[in-house]
Structure 1
């Protein structure tokens, strides 16, 4: 009997990748917090997750029949955030406190998905061994 990883792992197999991309966007914002004119960016997590779970392609075409199709998407596009603080005169829209909070929240949820997947793999290993 074959194991269906989609059924066994659920949505968590997709959330890990989306959360990693989101962490990259947030950490870029934090790193650029002192760069004049830098505009903070964000990701629509729900939309990115829908793209990842549906296998939506992100516009790459195959030029040879032997190429692997690119259906597992780079999830989500980044959009500019609405500023939450008044302009300090340099045009930078990064609110460092907000970004740190978003980063911590994202990392906690990422770790929860990793822990969940670890438990699923542990149980599948036990089932394969017959324990």
Structure 2
């Protein structure tokens, strides 16, 4: 059973998890020649995941093995290439310190979303139990 009151939090957690995967991939490929660092914009990805204005609904698939399309995540958000501040000779655009900072920030925001959701659920439990 899906509760609409928590739908936004569900989408936010899904997008944050997807962004963690993208940032992890960037860090893992820091030494891969010609690898291009990618990222997704959380606000536009969340809007897209909710099917809001400016965001189309994700593609309908009948199998988890279906490809979402080149440059798109499982949440339907478009992956964008990160522009490096200092390009390397081997064509790799991953800047490890930038990626690690983005990963840490995203992890903190993921945890904050979980804490907020837990607080909302605790409030509902409190109300249902009648203040006990």
Q: How high is the TM-score relative to the length of structure 1? A: 0.78
1:47 is the counterpart of 2:44:
yes
1:36 is the counterpart of 2:37:
no
Tell me the number of residue pairs that the alignment of Structure 1 and Structure 2 aligns: 116
Displacement of 1:44: 1.7
Distance of 2:127 and 2:6 partners within structure 1 = 15
**Equivalent residue number for residue 67 of structure 1:** none
Distance of 2:41 and 2:119 partners within structure 1 = 28
**Equivalent position SS for 2:50:** helix
Distance of 2:114 and 2:50 partners within structure 1 = 17
**Equivalent position SS for 1:59:** coil
Contact 2:50–2:57 (CA<8 Å) still a contact in 1? no
Distance of 2:114 and 2:107 partners within structure 1 = 10
Displacement of 1:5: 3.7
Displacement of 1:57: 2.6
**Equivalent position SS for 2:83:** coil
Q: How does 1:14-93 map to 2 (within 5 A)?
A: 14-54=11-51, 56-60=56-60, 74-87=75-88, 89-93=89-93
Unaligned runs of 5+ in 1: 63-72
**Equivalent residue number for residue 69 of structure 1:** none
Contact 1:18–1:75 (CA<8 Å) still a contact in 2? no
Higher CA-based Rg: 1
Structure 1 segments (4+ residues) deviating >4 Å: none
Query: Are the structure 2 counterparts of residues 13 and 97 from structure 1 closer, same or farther at C-alpha, using a change threshold of 3 Å?
Result: same
Q: How high is the TM-score relative to the length of structure 2? A: 0.77
**Equivalent residue number for residue 68 of structure 1:** none
Contact 1:49–1:75 (CA<8 Å) still a contact in 2? no
CA RMSD in angstroms comes to 2.1
